């Protein structure tokens, strides 16, 4: 594959079960993610894909199962801890800060790296000033990378959907994550926007070596860009392997590929 | 907005990250400050200084505080006046009970006392939002005023909780004339406004707005929601506390807890709504326009 070397397992999920009252969102799911790979999660609506990402970065707490990230096992994860450990994500329904500009949204992505306290900031002095300029520079690199220079100062609420998705990716990238969780980054986009997004995802993976866990409905995209695929159906894992293996898996064909949606 | 940033190109991020990056803003602020510090004390009558401008600055300071909490951090509060009361009564007691307490230090301590109380009454915000939070801050409003009236220690055992602010002296200079009082209040409020502007354009401000706009995403990015909300309550109450101290010392002279009632809280809320929720300059546009409205209603 493109220059990068797929490494060891960095995220290992064992027997994860997650329930909401009577609803079993995830049942006894195990899979792993290797360093630098693009790992796709597919499955019909309601299969539990988004829940899976929410478990990985601590938004949901599974009733059963074990999660190890970089070999470190954790019983209970909180979202801001996941962020500190280098896990960033985007959301299925865009979760940008609507009242803020593109620049401020992406700057916010670097918040865990900014150390000046509020008093230093009130005086905009020393570390506060230095940090603001340093991080601005990093954020401009993200802005250049995603080709959104022209909308830097635009409030995100005013942007079209496709660009909002791109800004949300930018906010996640600003944290320089080691692992990026993308929940349907191409949903609702036109062909051209999808191609751009695909290119950005591949470039992130290739240039920065970022490990990517990706939820996507478009099978063409999945076959093209992912290294391995997990297939979920009704909260259960029904397939796991390379795109080719998954495509030829009987159960997967029956449950998912066979039925149009 | 009457003008835009178009055509003003910045050669460095430093230039783009200035406190007022747009040239017209910079010039405008300079002119306003020059008028406020030089022209007004020379030209304004005693009535204007004592009766209107000092009060306007005090309310602007409280409005700044509420705007940080409500406009930026998205937490509605109806307790601003109560936090002003805490600032006023705390400053009074620091002056009263500690020998040689410098005036400005007493104001800051008053603000800190209000910040502490603000954090306590901000705790419900970790569980509840919007209307329910407003009701919780309403409880703070009534409880604090009740407590200051009830416990006579706060007012040095005066009847019905009335306090008379001590003379204002800084480095031996007595602030007696309206001009001097006005300039003192103006200096404090200007400094606080610049600090507020710096905070809201820094990472603290972005964290506040992030929590306001989308708290789940904020948390996932690594913002600690609890810390961020409570900091907003603390900073906001600090501003209200200092405003309360200025209200007592530079404007009223004699004040009772009832002077900081719900009416005043609502007034401050209207000021930020009229002046512009989520803007620092709005805190200064609100008070005059809301008093104009009041006059025209009457
Ligand atoms: N916060 C929640 N509360 C209750 N039920 C939920 C919640 N999140 C997800 N679910 C349920 O879990 C199941 C899986 O949902 P989800 O993970 O969003 O699926 P997908 O992303 O694959 O479409 C669905 O039945 C959904 O209703
Ligand atoms: Mg989903």
Q: With beta carbons less than 8 A apart as the criterion, state whether B40 and A160 touch.
A: no
**CA-CA-CA-CA dihedral for A5, A11, A12, A17, to nearest 10:** -140
A241 - beta bridge partners? Answer: A229
Give A82's contacts in chain B (Cβ within 8 Å). 220
Coil vs helix vs strand at A18: strand
Model pLDDT, residue A136: 95
Protein residue with least CA distance to atom 25, ligand 1: A46
CB A182 within 8 A of CB A215: yes
Task: Determine which of B8, B209, B219, B222 to mutate to test the interface with A (most A C-beta atoms within 10 Å).
Answer: B222
Position A236 pLDDT exceeds 70:
yes
* Per-residue confidence band for A84, with pLDDT thresholds at 50, 70 and 90: very high
Which residues 6+ apart lie within 8 Å of A31 measured at CB? Answer: A13, A230, A237, A240
Contact of B250 with B58, CB cutoff 8 Å? yes
Indicate the pLDDT class of residue A101, thresholds 50, 70 and 90: very high
> Which CA distances in Å does A178 have to A87, A197, A227, B211, B220?
6, 19, 17, 24, 15
The Cα–Cα gap between B192 and B228 comes to 20
Distance from the first to the final alpha carbon of chain A: 31
Question: Are the Cβ atoms of A153 and B5 closer than 8 angstroms?
Answer: yes
The reported pTM is 0.92
Return the domain boundaries, chain A: 1-86+179-185+211-261, 94-176
- Nearest Cα to B11, choosing from B24, B21, B25? B21
User: For residue A158, what is the DSSP state?
Assistant: G
Strand partners for A234: none
Backbone φ and ψ for A63, nearest 5 degrees, come out as -70, -35
If one residue of A18, A45, A50, A51 were mutated to test the ligand 1 pocket, choosing by the most ligand atoms within 8 A of its CB, it would be A51
CATH class entry, domain A1-86+179-185+211-261: alpha beta
Classify burial at B13, counting beta carbons within 10 Å of its beta carbon; exposed 0-12, middle 13-18, buried 19 or more.
middle
Statement: residue A182 has pLDDT above 80: yes
Contact B198 A136 (CB under 8 A): no
CA-to-CA separations, B165 to B17, B92, B107, B112, in angstroms, rounded? 41, 6, 12, 18
Name the residue of chain A whose CA is nearest to B234's CA.
A118
pLDDT in tens, A15-50: 999 999 999 999 999 999 999 999 999 999 999 999
Give me the DSSP letters along A83-103.
Answer: HHTTEEE--SS----TTSBHH
Mutate which of B221, B231, B276 to test chain A, going by most A C-beta atoms within 10 A? B221
Predicted confidence at residue B129, as pLDDT, reads: 84
Q: Is A45 in the pocket of ligand 1 (CB under 6 A)?
A: yes
Indicate the CATH number of A94-176 among 2.160.10.10, 3.30.70.330, 3.40.50.300, 3.90.850.10: 3.40.50.300
Interface mutation vs chain B, best among A121, A136, A168, A178, most B CBs within 10 Å: A121
HEC sequence for B190-218: HHHHHHHHHHHHCHHHHHHHHHHHCHHHH
> DSSP letters of chain B?
-----TT---SSHHHHTSSS-SHHHHHHHHHHHHIIIIIHHHHS-HHIIIIIIHHHHHHHHHHHHHIIIIIIS----S-HHHHHHHHHHHHHHHHHHSTT--HHHHHHHHHHHHHHHHHHHHGGGGT--HHHHHHHHHHHHHHHHHHHHH-GGGGTT-GGG-EEPPP-EETTEE--SHHHHHHHHHHHHHHHHHHHHHHHHSHHHHHHHHHHH-HHHHHHHT--HHHHHHHHHHHHHHHHHHHHHHIIIIIISEE-GGGG-HHHHHHHHHHHHHH-TT-TTHHHHHHHHHHHHHHHH-
Q: Is the CB of A54 under 6 A from ligand 1?
A: no
Give the model's pLDDT for residue B105: 97
Cβ of B198 within 8 Å of Cβ of A123? The answer is: yes
B198 → chain A, closest CA residue: A122
DSSP string, A219-255: HHHHHHH-SEEEEEETTEEEEEE-HHHHHH-HHHIII
Locate the ligand 1 atom nearest the alpha carbon of residue A183 and give its number. 21
Decide: A49 in ligand 1 pocket, CB within 6 A. Answer: yes
% of chain A at pLDDT higher than 70: 97
Specify the pairing of strand A179-183 against strand A9-20.
Answer: unpaired
Quick check: B91 and B248 in contact, CB under 8 A? yes
Ligand 1 atom, smallest distance to A232 CA: 22
pLDDT at residue B173, rounded to an integer:
92
**Whether residue A249 has pLDDT greater than 90:** no
Q: What is the ipTM of this complex?
A: 0.91
Atom of ligand 1 nearest to the CA of A235: 14
Write the residue in A83, A104, A153 that is nearest to B220 by C-beta: A83
- Nearest ligand to residue A43 Cα: 1
Indicate if the pLDDT at residue A145 is higher than 60: yes
CA torsion, points B60, B63, B68, B70, in degrees to nearest 10? -160
Query: Average pLDDT by consecutive 10-residue portion of chain B (298 residues)?
Result: 71 82 87 92 88 93 96 94 98 95 97 97 89 91 96 88 91 92 96 96 96 94 95 98 97 94 95 85 75 43
When CB atoms are compared, the residue of B202, B216, B224 closest to A121 is B202
Residue B297 confidence (pLDDT): 37
B122-144 burial, b at 16+ Cβ within 10 Å, e below that, comes to bebbeeeeeeebbebbbebbeeb
Give the β-pairing of A9-20 and A236-241: unpaired
Across the interface, whether the CB atoms of A99 and B204 are under 8 A apart is answered: no
A150 Cβ under 8 Å from any chain B Cβ: no
- B207–A111 CB contact, under 8 Å: yes
Report d(CA B194, CA B125) in Å as an integer. 27
Is A100 part of the contact surface with chain B (CB cutoff 8 Å)? yes
Return phi, psi of residue A72, to 5°: -95, 120
pLDDT at site B161: 85
Predicted local distance difference test score (pLDDT) of residue B10: 80
C-beta A166 within 6 A of ligand 1: no
The response to whether residue A209 sits with its C-beta less than 6 Å from ligand 1 reads no
Q: Which positions in chain B touch A114 (Cβ < 8 Å)?
A: 203
Output the six-digit token pair for B229. 């909300």
């Amino acid at each position: 594959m493109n220059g990068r070397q797929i490494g060891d397992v960095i995220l290992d999920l064992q027997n994860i079960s997650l329930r909401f009252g009577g609803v079993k969102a995830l049942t006894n799911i195990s899979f792993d993610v290797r360093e630098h790979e693009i790992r796709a999660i597919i499955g019909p609506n309601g299969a539990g894909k988004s829940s899976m990402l929410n478990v990985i970065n601590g938004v949901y707490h599974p009733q059963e199962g074990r999660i190890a990230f970089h070999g470190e096992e954790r019983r209970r994860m909180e979202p801001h801890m996941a962020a500190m450990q280098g896990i960033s994500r985007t959301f299925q329904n865009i979760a940008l800060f609507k009242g803020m500009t593109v620049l401020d949204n992406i700057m916010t992505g670097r918040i865990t790296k900014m150390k000046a306290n509020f008093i230093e900031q009130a005086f905009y002095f020393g570390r506060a000033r230095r940090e603001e300029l340093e991080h601005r520079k990093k954020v401009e690199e993200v802005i250049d990378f995603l080709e959104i220079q022209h909308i830097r100062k635009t409030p995100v609420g005013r942007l079209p959907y496709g660009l909002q998705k791109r800004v949300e990716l930018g906010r996640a990238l600003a944290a320089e994550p080691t692992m990026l969780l993308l929940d349907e980054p191409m949903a609702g986009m036109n062909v051209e926007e999808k191609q751009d997004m695909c290119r950005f995802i591949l470039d992130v993976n290739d240039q920065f070596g970022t490990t990517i866990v990706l939820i996507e409905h478009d099978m063409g995209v999945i076959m093209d860009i992912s290294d391995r695929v997990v297939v979920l159906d009704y909260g259960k894992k029904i397939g796991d392997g390379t795109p080719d293996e998954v495509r030829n898996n009987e159960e997967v064909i029956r449950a998912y590929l066979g039925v149009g949606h | 907005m009457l003008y835009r940033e178009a055509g003003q190109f910045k050669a460095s991020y430093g230039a783009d990250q200035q406190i007022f990056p747009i040239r017209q803003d910079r010039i405008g602020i300079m002119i306003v400050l020059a008028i406020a510090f030089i022209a007004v004390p020379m030209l304004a009558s005693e009535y204007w200084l004592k009766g209107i401008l000092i009060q306007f600055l005090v309310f602007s300071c409280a409005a700044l505080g509420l705007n940080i909490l409500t406009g930026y951090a998205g937490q509605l509060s109806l307790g601003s006046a109560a936090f002003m009361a805490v600032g006023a009564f705390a400053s009074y007691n620091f002056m009263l009970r500690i020998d040689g307490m410098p005036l400005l230090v007493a104001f800051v301590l008053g603000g800190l006392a209000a910040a502490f109380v603000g954090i306590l009454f901000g705790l419900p915000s970790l569980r509840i939002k919007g209307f329910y939070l407003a009701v919780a801050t309403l409880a703070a409003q009534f409880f604090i005023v009740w407590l200051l009236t009830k416990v006579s220690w706060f007012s040095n055992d005066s009847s019905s909780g009335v306090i008379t602010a001590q003379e204002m002296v800084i480095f031996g200079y007595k602030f007696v004339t309206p001009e001097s009082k006005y300039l003192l209040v103006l200096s404090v409020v200007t400094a606080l406004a610049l600090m507020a502007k710096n905070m809201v354009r820094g990472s603290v401000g972005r964290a506040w707005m992030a929590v306001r706009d989308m708290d789940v995403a904020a948390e996932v990015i690594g913002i600690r929601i609890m810390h961020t909300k409570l900091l907003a309550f603390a900073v906001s109450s600090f501003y209200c506390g200092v405003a309360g101290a200025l209200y007592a010392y530079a404007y009223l002279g004699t004040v009772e807890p009832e002077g900081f009632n719900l009416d005043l809280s609502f007034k401050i809320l209207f000021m930020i709504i009229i002046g512009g929720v989520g803007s620092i300059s709005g805190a200064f546009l609100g008070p005059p326009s809301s008093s104009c409205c009041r006059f025209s209603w009457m």
